[in-house]
A and B are shown apart, each in its own frame.
Chain A
Amino acid sequence: MAADQDTVDTVAALAGEKYAHGFVTDIEQEFAERGLNTDVIRFISAKKDEPQWLLDWRLEAYERWLALDEPDWARVHYPKIDYQDLYYYAAPKQKAGPQSLDEVDPELLATYAKLGIPLKEQAFLAGVQGSPRYAVDAVFDSVSVVTTFKAELAKAGVIFCPLSEAVREHPELVRKYLGSVVPVSDNYFACLNSAVFSEGSFVYVPPGVRCPMELSTYFRINALNTGQFERTLIIADAGSYVSYLEGCTAPMRDENQLHAAVVELVALDDAEIKYSTVQNWYPGDAEGKGGIYNFVTKRADCRGARSKVSWTQVETGSAITWKYPSCILRGDGSSGEFYSIAITNGRQQADTGTKMIHLGANTRSRIIAKGISAGHSSSTYRGLVSVHPKATGARNFTQCDSLLIGKTCAAHTVPYVEARNANAQLEHEATTTRLSEEQLFYVMQRGLSQEEAVQLLVNGFVREVLQELPMEFAVEAQKLVAVSLEGSVG
């Protein structure tokens, strides 16, 4: 069925047509030389004061990258990227290592204020009682500008800092875990990232610690012709819990910009990581000019027994999205979740989904993906659920729904299922009415129509996920809740 007018309006207001974060910050920046070669990699490594092992690691990744081919299996089309025509490093010029906010360039602070990202700790400490607090690592092009609440987090034993700082301060942790979830030559873009990654966040939560506040990273691309290659590494030690959020924006430009990130999560015994993304990179204009190419590798390794990783993503931006946050369910009894809302408009193309690899016994996974396409855009859900012979008792539930608004857009669903254990239970659903007949019946006998009932139930479910996000993120994402699921196709 076609979407109703409300839905059309909501989506139109949401995506593409009004991009509020499209301004450029005019700030003096320094760049690596244009193009990619071993000198540029040495330059990046030297800028970050890296040890020899990491430089070697980068150079080896570069060698391997040269031998790889760009993947072409995703349902996205874009002109060939000239990897020699990019800057791989850009950083605002500033005095070395600002110790406090006072030393950060006011122009940068203004940028974040304009984006609505609070970098002042006291703003929250003195705020309304009970208002949520969260620590922010603000990444501007290739460097981290500031990380807030570090001291308070340190009291709990939590390490939260830019990755380059972690390389210096906690080399043993970085060396142990970096590349252990996403190997260097995992795929073309991850390999490129391994060679030139610039900044990202590092989180370590010690055994038994429940991280006292939400952690977040705000990625901002500012410089022209610059790729952003962040790398995030999160380790939740036995019995710990951490919730992490990321947000992304970029200026409106006519050129396409490349963003190739790698995110690695490691959850040990009984640990839980909740990872949320509100991706709002510049999607390009209505004719498809400009916008970010978002080629991201995100993977979680549920290494420990009963560990849990939950991915939540709200994808509204980027000209091209190529992104499959995945869970390797290695530990017995571990579980993975993937909740996704992907909205495409204009000429956007999104090929996104997840992989749930069940290796351990009694592992569980749940996939809920909602794709909404409008304008001339195309949205693809691509997912894999794989159950290995030792994963006795594995359970999976997958539901992916798509909504098309208008006659010129496209929605695709490409789920792969591989089952190699006779005591596994896998379900892939595509119809909304199957969500829960009982709940539907209950709501409908209260006088709501089926459509209203489905909306209410799904919105209720989505809201439950969104409530986990802090205020700024939730407000942005909340608008999506209004999008009805009427006319969903599998």
Chain B
Amino acid sequence: MTGLRDALLTRDETRLPGRRDEDWRWTDLRGTLRPMPVLSEAVQPLAPFDAPQGVQVRRFAAPATAGTAEASLSVAAGETLVLLDRVEAGEGPYARDLALHITLGEGATLHRLVLAADSAEAVSMSLTTVALAAGATLHQTVLATGAKRQRIATTVAHPGGGAHARLDGAYLLSGARHSDQTTILDHRGPGGSSEQLIRGVAADQGRGVFQGRITVAEGADGTDARLKHNALLLSGRAEIDAKPELEIYADDVACAHGNTVGALDAEALFYAMSRGIPEAEARLMLVEAFIGEIVERIGAPALQDAARAFLADGLEALRR
């Protein structure tokens, strides 16, 4: 799926996916790694640090040149895990490819927050696969500030049977940063539900990409799947690309997707300014409110705090 892994391991840049590959049309890795970097070390999750009560924290440090890592995680039936994944920025250029395979047992719950901070010159890919059992609940929120090329992909195998998946995300892009959030939600059995809300902001020459595919297999009746992507373009040189897909093979379903791209609401901006708030400040306020909704949807309070702090940094970068 991420393609980068192959290329890094074989040092063969022709294996990098490019814009001619349907799933990579807006996240072209061709030519971004020249010459192909030598693997420095495998990216190892570091020991937990300052973990708030009941929260597991995993840090992924940036490799010196390039690294790949693959890990798996399972939450036993009926258990609840609150997980904070911090993907940390290094300096300068590096390439990394992370893969995480999560299994949720029957009735298990996972609250996961991914904070993806990468350097502006990084090529950073990550893939999370999640297998849900009946009655399991997945709440995932991805917050990203982009990289030279950044993709955070999540695929969910959804068995139906009362399981619920929520995949939320937000990106805040400044400079020439790129960020791609890709989700595949695969409803394989009857009686499942999923919802996705992705909000994005691209300033300067930022480029935000969202690809979301919902598939509902034959027999997965009673599926309720909803997806929404809203993006704001803050500059004439920024770009937003979106592809919300539905692939439906069952007739008794309620599936919907919505996608909007636009500028900040001129009326709201005018209102704020008429109250004496300088324009630059008013813009940030509106952006903060726009992205803030994603944070408010986070179920675990400890994660909410971490998300707020991360977003504050992201907004700070927009101000500069």
Contact across chains for A415 and B244 when beta carbons are under 8 A apart: yes
Q: Distance (Å) between the CB of A372 and the closest chain B CB?
A: 11
Known contacts A1-B254, A487-B251, A490-B255: A427-B260 contact under CB 8 Å: yes
The residues of A that contact B289 with a CB separation of less than 8 Å are none
CB-defined contacts of B239 to chain A, threshold 8 Å: 418-420
A-B contact pairs, 22 of them (CB 8 A): A2-B251, A2-B252, A73-B22, A407-B219, A410-B249, A411-B248, A412-B245, A412-B248, A413-B245, A416-B241, A417-B242, A418-B26, A420-B239, A421-B236, A423-B236, A425-B263, A427-B258, A427-B262, A489-B246, A490-B246, A490-B255, A490-B258
Q: Which residues of B contact A430 (CB under 8 A)?
A: 246, 255-258
Residue A214 at the chain B interface, CB threshold 8 Å? no
> Which residues of A, 415-449, contact B by the 8 Å Cβ criterion?
415-431, 434
Would you give the 0/1 interface string for B209-251, flagging 1 where the beta carbon is closer than 8 Å to chain A?
0000000001100000000000101111111111111111111
**Closest B residue by C-beta to A426:** B261
CB pair A410–B248 under 8 Å, yes or no, is yes
Which of A242-250, A255-263, A398-406 is near enough to bind chain B?
A398-406
- A419/B257 in contact, CB under 8 A: no
Closest-by-CB residue of B relative to A408 is: B218
- Let me know if B257 and A428 touch, CB within 8 A: yes
B259 an interface residue at 8 Å Cβ cutoff? yes
- Tally of chain B residues near chain A (CB < 8 A): 36
Minimum distance in angstroms from A369 CB to a CB of chain B: 13
Check A422 against B235 for contact (C-beta < 8 Å). Answer: yes
Whether a CB of chain A sits under 8 angstroms from the CB of B81 is no
Chain A residues in 8 Å Cβ range of B246: 402, 411-413, 430, 489-490
Q: Does B253 contact A (CB under 8 A)?
A: yes
Chain A residues closer than 8 Å to B237, beta-carbon distance: 389
A409 and B251 contact, CB distance less than 8 A: yes
C-alpha gap A419/B239 in the complex (Å) = 6
Other-chain contact of A429, B26, B238, B258 (Cβ < 8 Å)? B258
B173 to chain A, nearest CB (A): 13
Q: Are B248 and A404 in contact (CB under 8 A)?
A: yes
Q: Which residues of B contact A422 (CB under 8 A)?
A: 233-236, 238, 263
Interface centre among B244, B253, B258, B261 (most CB of A within 10 A): B261
Please, how many angstroms separate the alpha-carbon atoms of A482 and B242 in the complex?
Answer: 33
Does A13 count as interface, using CB distance less than 8 angstroms?
no
> Does A24 sit within 8 A of B, measured CB to CB?
no
| A412–B247 touching, CB < 8 Å | yes
Please name all residues of chain B whose beta carbon is closer than 8 Å to the beta carbon of A2 when the two chains form the complex: 251-252
Residues on the B chain within 8 Å of A411, using CB: 246, 248
Closest A-chain residue to B253, C-beta based?
A489
Most chain A CB within a 10 A radius of its CB, from B231, B246, B254, B255: B246
- Write the chain A residue with the least CB distance to B234: A422
How far apart are the CA atoms of A420 and B263 in the complex, in Å? 11
Check if B243 sits within 8 Å of A417, measured CB to CB. Answer: yes
A416 contacts which chain B residues (CB < 8 A)?
241-243
Q: How many interface residues does chain A have, given as a range?
A: 35 or more
| Cα–Cα distance between A305 and B241 once the two chains are bound (Å) | 27
A20 an interface residue at 8 Å Cβ cutoff? Answer: no
In the bound assembly, the distance between CA atoms of A404 and B236 in angstroms comes to 41
Residues of A within 8 Å of B250, CB to CB, are: 404, 407
Question: A residues within 8 A CB of B253?
Answer: 489
- Give the distance in Å from the alpha carbon of A426 to the alpha carbon of B249 in the complex: 28
Asked if residues B261 and A424 are in contact (CB atoms below 8 Å), the reply is: yes
What CA separation (Å) do A409 and B22 show in the bound complex? 24
B183 to chain A minimum Cβ distance, whole angstroms, is 15
Give the docked Cα–Cα distance between A424 and B258 (Å). 17
A426–B237 alpha-carbon span in the complex (Å)? 17
Report if A414 contacts B (CB, 8 A).
Answer: yes
Q: Is A3 an interface residue (CB 8 A)?
A: yes
Contact of B252 among A1, A413, A420 (CB under 8 A): A1
Given contacts A421-B236, A422-B233, A422-B235, contact A415 B259 (CB under 8 A): yes
Leading 10 A-B pairs by shortest Cβ distance: A404-B251, A428-B259, A422-B233, A413-B246, A489-B255, A419-B261, A426-B261, A417-B242, A425-B262, A419-B240
- Besides A415-B243, A489-B254, 9 other CB < 8 A contacts? A410-B249, A421-B236, A422-B263, A423-B236, A424-B263, A426-B261, A430-B255, A487-B252, A490-B256
Q: What is the CB-to-nearest-CB distance from B225 to chain A, in angstroms, rounded to a whole number?
A: 9
The chain A residue with its CB closest to the CB of B241 is A418
CB neighbours (8 Å) of B240 from chain A are 417-419
Q: Is A489 in contact with B244, judged by CB distance below 8 angstroms?
A: no
Q: How far is the CA of A417 from the CA of B260 in the complex (A)?
A: 9
Which residue of the partner chain, among A404, A406, A418, A489, contacts B256 with CB atoms under 8 Å? A489
Closest-CB distance, B35 to chain A (whole angstroms) = 31
Closest Cβ of chain B to A423, distance in Å, is 6
Residues of B1-58 contacting chain A, CB below 8 A: 22, 26
Bound complex: CA of A426 vs CA of B246, how far in Å? 19
B208 nearest in chain A by CB position = A419
Closest B residue, CB atoms, query A417:
B242
B260 in complex: contacting residue of A406, A410, A426, A431, CB < 8 Å: A426
Give the distance to chain B from A69, nearest Cβ to Cβ, in Å. Answer: 12
Bound-state CA distance A70–B236 (Å) is 37
* One of B242, B245, B248, B258 near A402 (C-beta < 8 A): B248
Closest to B232 in A: A422
- B244: A residues at CB distance < 8 A: 413, 415, 428
Which A residues between 363 and 415 are near B, CB-CB below 8 angstroms? 389, 402, 404-415
Q: In whole Å, how far is B101's beta carbon from the nearest beta carbon of chain A?
A: 28
Which A residues are in CB contact (< 8 Å) with B254? 1, 489
CB distance from B163 to the nearest CB of A (A): 20
For residue B24, give the distance in angstroms from its CB to the closest CB of chain A: 14
Contacting pair A413 B262 (CB below 8 A): no
- Chain B proximity of A435: nearest CB distance (Å): 13
CB distance from A16 to the nearest CB of B (A): 18
Tell whether A426 pairs with B243 under 8 Å between CB atoms, given A410-B248, A412-B248, A490-B257.
Answer: no
Tell me the smallest distance from the CB of B236 to a CB of chain A, in Å: 5
Q: Which chain A residue has the least Cβ–Cβ distance from B211? A: A416
Q: In the complex, what distance in Å separates the CA atom of A419 from the CA atom of B209?
A: 10
Specify which chain A residues have a CB less than 8 angstroms from the CB of B247 in the assembled complex.
410, 412
- Which residues of B from 60 to 102 have beta carbons under 8 Å from A? none
Decide yes or no: A389 and B248 within 8 Å by CB, A415-B259, A422-B263, A430-B258 being known contacts.
no
